[in-house]
Amino acid sequence: MTECSIRFFGLGLGPGDPDYMTVRARKVLESADRLVHFCKRGRRGNARVIADAVVGQNPDREIALVYPVTTEIPADHRDYAAALNPFYEGAAARILAEVEAGRTVAVLCEGDPFFYGSFMHLWWRLKDRIPIEVVPAVTAMSGAWTRAGAPITWGDDVLTVVPGTLPEAELTRRLSGTDAAVVMKLGRNLPKVRAALASAGLLERAIYVERATMAEERIVPLPELPEDFDAPYFSLIIVPGQGRRV
């Protein structure tokens, strides 16, 4: 498969700072006929905001995929899948039509496309129908521990990545059996995650990171964060390991 035969890209743009964008991502971003980005109604997607540093707004290039639902319904509720399944089906059909018309389409992804990314739902629907190139990127968690100055794993440390959406008991179980951890999908799950970290004996080592590498970046030891703090979606918690050092 030649590079010129690929017209559909999952484009990882990194954690937020456009300087962390790869050369490959920038090349595709500048040349694609259509720039697709996920967003909430009435807002621009975070990935599209990252791309502003490289490409300006051009209505002829833009395809905004507006989520029918985000956090209003729990992800494990049947209404959540009932709303999102047709959304992704329609988005995939729209992208397929663009590609079949001879246009190059890039789906913009914050972080890495294959790490908790909405792009994966499109990839799954289209991977057997058209050639796809996924452009990897610096993840949000990598940006977070680097900006926090907190090496995440030493020696033989085991790193566990968990979504904060898990039940508290399951979070506690998984966190209790690891040396280092990253908790994603924080948001309204922060109180539950804090309790699980405390139960696992990791609270004192936990670091809260919000919008890592972005202009609004915030890095705070979790114990210093107010109990009633309202965490945004683009936040996570890192727990550095304490393994072998020489």
Q: What is the pLDDT of residue 74?
A: 60
Task: Provide the mean pLDDT of the chain.
Answer: 93
**pLDDT > 70? residue 39:** yes
Read off the CATH number of the domain in which 221 is found: 3.30.950.10
Q: What is the pLDDT of residue 145?
A: 98
Looking at the structure, tell me whether residues 73 and 106 fall in a common domain: yes
What is the model's pTM? 0.90
| Segment among 70-79, 112-121, 162-171, 226-235 with least mean pLDDT | 70-79
The mean pLDDT of 137-156, rounded to a whole number, is 97
Looking at the structure, tell me whether residues 149 and 127 fall in a common domain: no
Q: What is the pLDDT of residue 71?
A: 61
Q: How do residues 97-146 score in pLDDT, each as one tens digit?
A: 999 999 999 999 999 999 999 999 999 999 999 999 999 999 999 999 99
Looking at the structure, tell me whether residues 8 and 110 fall in a common domain: yes
- Structural domains of the chain, count: 2
Read off the CATH number of the domain in which 39 is found: 3.40.1010.10
The mean pLDDT of 35-39, rounded to a whole number, is 95
- Residue 92 neighbours by CB under 8 Å, 6+ apart: 122, 125, 126
Looking at the structure, tell me whether residues 133 and 186 fall in a common domain: no
Looking at the structure, tell me whether residues 40 and 96 fall in a common domain: yes
Which long-range CB contacts under 8 A does 112-116 form with residues at least 24 apart?
A: 112/12, 112/136, 112/137, 112/138, 112/139, 113/10, 113/11, 113/12, 113/137, 114/10, 115/139, 116/163, 116/184, 116/185
Q: Residue 46: which domain range?
A: 3-138
Looking at the structure, tell me whether residues 119 and 229 fall in a common domain: no
Q: What is the pLDDT of residue 70?
A: 67
**pLDDT > 70? residue 20:** yes
